[in-house]
Amino acid sequence: MLDVFFFGGIGLYFLGMVLRFFGQVWKKDGLTKASWMIFMAGFAAHTVYLVMRGIQAGRVPMANQFEFAVMFSWGISVILVFLHYRLGLEWITTVAMIMAWAIYLYAALLPREIHELMPALRSVWFVSHIGSAAFAYASFMLAGASGIRYILIHKKDKEDERLPEIDYFIYRLIAIGLLLLTVTIVIGAIWAEEAWSSFWTWDPKEVWALITWILYAICLHLRLSRKMTGVKMAWFAVIAVPVVLFTFIGVNTIIPGLHSYGVVLSRLM
Amino acid sequence: MKKINTFLRSMTFGVILLGLIILFSVAGSVIPQNNEVMYYVRSYPSYYQVILTLGLNRIFTSWYFVVTVILLCINLTLCSIVRFRRINEEDLVETALQGKETVELDPESLDKVRLELVRMRCHTRQTGDRTVYYKNGFGRYGTFITHLGILFTVVFFALGMSLPKITDQTCMPKESLVLEDGTEIYVDTFSITDSTGRLDYKSVVNIILPNEKESGLTEVSVNHPASAGQYKVYQQTYGTIGRITVRDKKNHQDTFNIESQDFLSSDGKTGILIDNLYPGFTETEEGMQLITSTSGRYENPVYVFVVINETGQEAMLAFPGDSIDVGDYTYYFEDPVEYPGLRIKKSPAYINLFLLIAVLVLVFGLAVTFLWIPVVVLVTPAGYRICSQKAEGLELRLKSVLKKEKE
């Protein structure tokens, strides 16, 4: 039953994405609207999957690479839905759908068995540390998605009136992502002090979280002093996405460290 | 001197330093840190000399990393001072009142702008027909607080990393560890599963300080250290040890913990030579084959030992509960005992408190910078002007209000 919702979510995201693409190419509003409805159905399946898995596991499902990927993808969808309904932002949808689907698909390549939470992860900080990380990464991914959109529009027309809005949202998404990443690192440090006796161990995951934090902090600093706006900011948002993905996937799978329990042997390896 | 000062507090210098920290961090995450020299010789036969010469094996404590961080602290301090001065010198509302509108609008559109600013719950200050709408004045301090937060975090982080003294020790249940300053840590019990059979490494300890104050029997488990005075005790690892009780004919007995190869004998000639305690075994068609368990749990333990007496030597196996007579003694093989590996940390408590305050200042600063954006808008009968800096959101919002009106 769980798998029905899991693969149903992936399938609906994919279908929504394809319809959206053709809706945009053929300029058919009906297709574009239908694609959103299908995406929302996928989002509902995704949400039900997470809730059911959580009930079955008896905990919030964020204990390993698979569960984090599902949560990460869900975070992208949640922010996308918020931007769509609350702020009426349409331009971000296509690329954001692709990102949500791609991360969800990555999760499908990982083992899905439910394991008991290991003692090291049984902490009051578990949900807030990992949850804030998922939403921080999701914000950065959406900033990257907006960056791609900005660059594409900018190539066609440098004076397009949508550009200032997209530029502003790249900045806001990065700012929210940085704030959440700071919360992630701070909570992680407090947790590490309780678990390992030291709030910082220079573990590869910590180091890459710090690298990501510094990169985005530099970006925002330059932005606030007006030295990086427009297309430069958009390029930064896009180029920084691989760093975020490396912090999420690369560090856990390539470099062994204290956070390696996040990985249950991947079928990719 | 002025040029040096300007450079030291400049953003360019700050960005260069942060870039260097990123570079060092990448190197530090790719090259495993703090290993023995031979590890690098074996793992990087072509580059180990470069790694060791440049100190890339201990990059986060290398002089160049420390110097970079110190320079970053100087940059942050100077930058914070300048920012604070600049913020205090400004009175944006007063300046705005003296200014001139930049967006000219008809009275109807201007009313829409006023309405939107009221909807945003702005305060107003009026001089004649000129009104300044403002809110979130405190937001101007956002970047200053953030800089201060980063500075404090780096400083207390450095102290927090260098001041604590950490040691890892093991202790058998019902025994005590005595530390250098006379502090005693008594381990009452240790278990690796809870009452439901779920893995949960838990020690019950009592920390007795030199002034005889004590923590009382306190549970220590993963994520739940016990503390007393400057000490914190963490559940770190655990081990399993064999136990053999030796009894003589007069029923005098003694119990021995088997940590490595041990020869239990009263005369040095007759006795048993313990090879090891194994966590489990499998029986094959050819006979018994011993295995070492990889799960770390001793589900089917077996002792391997050699009986040594006048007649010679004989290798044997024994299971918990078995016994064997050798010479004048009976050797009873007991159930293995699990014991905790504890991490003991001594550090001044105020460091963690200050560090916590520093990171809270940092998070607060970021929240103020990005969520509490100052709004200062001058509205005259001819139009309006956004006077606050970093007000792109407001600009877009007002434009959108006017655009909706046109539509």
Q: Which two tokens stand for residue B113?
A: 């702008």
pLDDT score of A259: 65
The answer to whether residue A6 sits within a structural domain is: yes
Q: Which two tokens stand for residue B174?
A: 């019902």
| B 344-403 residues inside an 8 A Cβ radius of A | 345, 352, 355-356, 359, 362-363, 366-367, 369-371, 390, 392-393, 396
What distance in Å separates residue B262's CA from the closest CA in chain A? 34
In chain B, residues with a C-beta closer than 8 Å to the C-beta of A173 are none
Considering chain B, what is the average pLDDT of its residues?
Answer: 89
- Whole-angstrom Cα distance, residue B370 to residue B191? 48
The answer to whether residue A103 sits within a structural domain is: yes
Find the helix or strand (DSSP H, E) in which A60 lies.
none
**Could you give phi then psi for residue B270, rounded to 5 degrees?**
-110, 135
> Count of A–B CB contacts within 8 Å?
107
For residue A267, pLDDT beyond 60: no
Same domain, A42 and A154: no
pLDDT score of A261: 53
pLDDT score of A17: 93
Find the helix or strand (DSSP H, E) in which A17 lies.
helix A2-25
- Whole-angstrom Cα distance, residue A104 to residue A102? 5
CATH fold of B91-136+373-407 reads TATA-Binding Protein (3.30.310)
Same domain, A97 and A156: no
pLDDT score of B296: 64
For residue B293, pLDDT beyond 70: no
Same domain, A162 and A43: no
Cβ of B199 within 8 Å of Cβ of A195? The answer is no
Same domain, A26 and A42: yes
pLDDT score of A258: 64
- Whole-angstrom Cα distance, residue A205 to residue A251? 6
Same domain, A95 and A132: no
Same domain, A65 and A168: no
The answer to whether residue A83 sits within a structural domain is: no
Cβ of A182 within 8 Å of Cβ of B345? The answer is no
CATH number, residue A123? 1.20.120
- Could you tell me what percent of chain B has a pLDDT over 70? 97
pLDDT tens-digit readout, B1-44: 788 888 998 989 999 999 999 999 999 999 999 899 999 999 99
Of A168, A193, A215, the CB nearest to B22: A215
- Could you tell me what percent of chain A has a pLDDT over 70? 95
Q: Which two tokens stand for residue A90?
A: 């349409």
Same domain, A153 and A49: no
For residue B95, pLDDT beyond 80: no
Residue B291 identity? I
Q: Which of A80, A70, A122 is nearest to B198 (CA)?
A: A122
Contact A37, A117 (CB under 8 A): no
Q: HSE, CB side, 13 Å, CA atoms: give it for residue A55.
A: 6
pLDDT tens-digit readout, A113-129: 998 888 888 899 999 99
Same domain, A217 and A134: yes
Q: Which of A83-87, A213-217, A252-256, A263-267 has the highest mean pLDDT?
A: A213-217
In chain A, the number of structural domains is 2
pTM assigned to the model? 0.87
Same domain, A122 and A253: yes
pLDDT score of B41: 94
Same domain, A58 and A136: no
- Could you tell me what percent of chain B has a pLDDT over 90? 49
Q: Which domain holds residue A103?
A: 1-74+88-110
For residue A265, what pLDDT band results from cuts at 50, 70 and 90?
very low
pLDDT tens-digit readout, B299-310: 788 899 999 988
Same domain, A97 and A131: no
ipTM at complex level: 0.86
Give A193-247 as a DSSP string: HHHHS-S----HHHHHHHHHHHHHHHHHHHHHTTSS-HHHHHHHHHHTHHHHHII
Q: Provide the pairing of β-strand B302-309 with B184-193.
A: unpaired
Name the DSSP class of A258: T
Same domain, A193 and A147: yes
pLDDT tens-digit readout, B311-338: 889 988 899 999 999 988 999 999 998 8
pLDDT tens-digit readout, B197-250: 888 899 999 999 998 888 899 999 999 999 998 999 999 988 888 999 999 988
Place of tokens 């296509």: A94
Q: Is B215 helix (H, G, I), strand (E, B) or coil?
A: coil
